[in-house]
Amino acid sequence: MTTATHTTDDYPTRHRSEESKPRKHPTVWGTAADGPFDEAALDEHERHGFTILEDFITPAEVETFTGELNRLASDPTLQGDERVVTEKASGEVRSVFQVEKLSDPIDALTRDPRVLDRARQLLGSDVYLHQTRVNYMPGFKGTGFYWHSDFETWHAEDGLPAPRAVSCSIALTRNYPFNGGLMVMPGSHQTFVPGVGETPENNHAASLKEQTVGVPSEEAIADLARRCGVDQFTGPAGSALWFDSNIMHASSNNITPYPRSNVFLVFNSVENTPVEPFAASAPRPAHIAARDFTPLH
């Protein structure tokens, strides 16, 4: 597989010693004997960097979690809370972080065997929560997320040494191809693409509303798209997307009448705990990047 050949002479990057290159680490660290995924499913996940599971949670659970999202978005005690991120233009709630601390049902979900056993299997070890959040994308007004790799940010700003982390995104509304559903580049997780530019102080305060620093160059994105193509997470409420921390992904604006909301659970291996950030002066706050590495049980 060919890789992009950007160097520090081409543009400033947040990782001055890094070029876009194949990963040195596997995507799947466990085996079929370690959890619910069978051998074929693990092979698919290794190749593509993501797995979609429909009917992952029940309609009753979807209703419960949707109620929790509505409660969090309208809770007056959370106004001004640093865990709540609002839309840059409209001021509506865009994301709420550290939701396991704000919702008992979501806290229980992080330990549900359907979730936890898969996270342990994919990462081949005990795991802890690196980050949790809910993303709201209301009809007509929802703004998207530009192309990025989560690991690039978690490496640069949080200090994760390796891409030994996995996200589980659970749809609480139907994810159509046209209401801002998550786009992914299959196989792109095998290439590390550094972001462009220096990391400003407290970059998270702006980047969580609209990320402009720490994203790849258009040349790097176009190169990956030519090699990998673009797929999309679609499916009914209750579906789940498991995706590698280094996969290139994005979502477009939602100008349809159909809202889209998802709950994200990010698991990191206890053998991959953060060190000092690789391209930032200080780590992001604990509600965005946990510093409690207690294994989930």
Location of structure tokens 């609480």: 172
Q: How far is CA 91 from CA 26, 62, 64, 80, 270, in A?
A: 40, 26, 26, 12, 37
pLDDT in tens, the chain (297 residues): 223 332 323 334 566 444 456 666 789 999 999 999 999 999 999 999 999 999 999 999 999 999 999 999 999 999 899 999 988 777 888 899 999 999 999 999 999 999 999 999 999 999 999 999 999 998 998 889 899 999 999 999 999 999 999 999 999 999 999 999 999 999 999 999 988 866 656 554 444 544 556 689 999 999 999 999 999 999 999 999 999 999 999 999 999 999 999 999 999 999 999 999 998 889 999 999 999 999 999
Helices (H), the chain: 39-48, 59-74, 104-111, 113-123, 150-153, 204-207, 218-228
Contact 266, 130 (CB under 8 A): yes
**CA 181, CA 171: separation in Å to the nearest integer?**
10
What is the value of pTM for the model shown? 0.89
Q: For each of the domains in the chain, give its residue range(s) and CATH number, in order of start.
A: 21-76+84-269 (2.60.120.620)
Q: How many CA atoms lie within 13 A of 39 on its CB side?
A: 0
Angle at 198 between CA 195 and CA 203, to 5 degrees: 90
Token pair for residue 196? 């462009």
Burial tier of 292 (Cβ tally within 10 Å: 0-12, 13-18, 19+) = exposed
DSSP E strands in 196-259: the ranges are: 231-232, 240-244, 248-251
Contact 264, 201 (CB under 8 A): no
Q: How far is CA 192 from CA 73, 152, 208, in A?
A: 35, 8, 21
Token pair for residue 33? 């004997």
